[in-house]
Amino acid sequence: MKNYGFTTLAVNGPFENKDAFGAAAQPVYLSTTYAQPATDRPGEYAYSRGGNPTRADLEACLAALEGGRAAFAFASGMAAISTVFNLFNSGDHIVINNNVYGGTFRYAAELFAGRGLSASFIDDFNSLDFDSLPKYVKGIFIETPSNPLLKITDIRRTAEEAHKRGMLVIVDNTFMTSYLQRPLELGADIVLYSATKYYGGHSDILAGLVTANDAAICEKLKLLQNTTGNALSPFDCALMRRSIKTLALRMERHETNAKLLIEFLLRHKNVKKIFHPSTAGRDERRIHAAQSKGDGAVFSMILRDGIDIEKFAASLRLFQLAVSLGSVESLICRPASMTHESYTPEMRERAGITDSLLRVAVGIEDADDLIGDFDRALSLAEA
């Protein structure tokens, strides 16, 4: 299995998992209960919350793609994130990068205190002196590139420093996917996804995925999935499994389109700044290049002063004004009011999420059409 490339595994899955009838596409096992061989002899599956063949197939495929020991599929990215936060105990502190998914921030801000957890938000892990962190820090939660400013965190350094102090390192790898970045191989303990985004890729499945290497962590995640009852439904698992087959093809097209669009925008007089791994500072670019295979297709931008962003967004025909990302269709949103509204105004200011910032998720349409759409809207917004 190790010898096969990413897309071969994404299409075929782990080879020991073949369907008994040779079905080329994964069958959907809707049954919630399974007949057992005997009262004292459990079968492979008993009850769908604890385990389901369609879900197991998806989870095995993800584990193979990530190089994880096991993977777990959840009803949403936030279900995956809350399950991972459930690994922590009262008194634990988690350090999170300060531009992180709005829902992750909301969870920490609204639910941590009641569970006896606490969090702090840090701008830059790369220059962080880990000795300055208190002893009760038990976890590090990062997104790299971050959301929405695409800042880069050195996963390897963070994991090394954190592990010296017994901290668990969690990476939300939603923007990259395992096709572009594999944090477990860089030392992270847990990698999680909103699979609603690139893994699903078509804006029609809400899902979350988690993978890990350590046997004890995997066991605990399995217990939590079964006990909290937040697993992904069989039908959604089958749709997700189908989506993963084209993940590499889609990512390549997303990336090519993003690269061409960004090249165009960097030359445009109405664009002030682009935030993307390809336009980051030298140190960040070097770190990102060492830990990933590409720059991804999400970027943020600030238009020149005097350009009306409402008019700009309304003039676009191919970029829908909508939250989310990672789908075949192109989307644009204003993070301050659409995805990061759970941040306090001070947090937004500290994290650099200004009212003029727009986030773009580039789809797989024809690049010329996307560029033409931006060109037209940038001119109309000038008037």
Residues engaged in binding ligand PLP (CB under 6 A): 76-78, 101, 103, 143, 147, 172, 174, 194, 196-197, 206, 208
The nearest distance, CB 36 to ligand PLP, in angstroms, is: 34
Tell me which residue has tokens 């789908």.
327
Sequence-ordered alpha helix ranges (H) in the chain: 6-12, 53-66, 77-85, 102-111, 155-164, 177-180, 215-228, 234-245, 247-266, 282-291, 309-315, 335-338, 345-351, 367-380
End-to-end CA distance of the chain: 58
Beta-bridged to residue 258, according to DSSP, are none
Of the residues 154, 172, 189, 295, only one is catalytic, namely: 172
197 has catalytic annotation? yes
Looking at beta carbons only, is 158 or 196 nearer to ligand PLP? 196
Q: What is the DSSP letter of 304?
A: P
Q: Which is nearer to ligand PLP, 158 or 270 (CB)?
A: 158
Number of neighbouring beta carbons within 10 Å of residue 337:
11
Angle at 251 between CA 211 and CA 359, to 5 degrees: 90
Q: Cα angle at 179 between 178 and 184, to 5 degrees?
A: 30
Amino acid code (one letter) for 174: T
From 55, 138, 182, 197, the catalytic residue:
197
Q: Is 49 a catalytic residue?
A: yes
| Distance in Å, CB of 326 to ligand PLP, minimum | 8
Residue (174 or 278) nearer to ligand PLP, CB:
174
Of the pair 173, 257, the CB lying nearest ligand PLP is at 173
For residue 230, CA distances in Å to 33, 124, 155, 207, 223 come to 17, 33, 28, 10, 11
Whose CB is nearest to ligand PLP?
A: 77
Q: From the CB of 194, what's the least distance to ligand PLP, in Å?
A: 3
Q: Given the residues 4, 49, 214, 273, select the one marked as catalytic.
A: 49
Q: What is the pairing mode between strands 70-74 and 118-122?
A: unpaired
Residue 33 Cβ vs ligand PLP, minimum distance, rounded to whole Å: 28
Q: What's the min distance (Å) between Cβ of 23 and ligand PLP?
A: 28
Task: Enumerate the active-site residues.
Answer: 49, 101, 172, 197
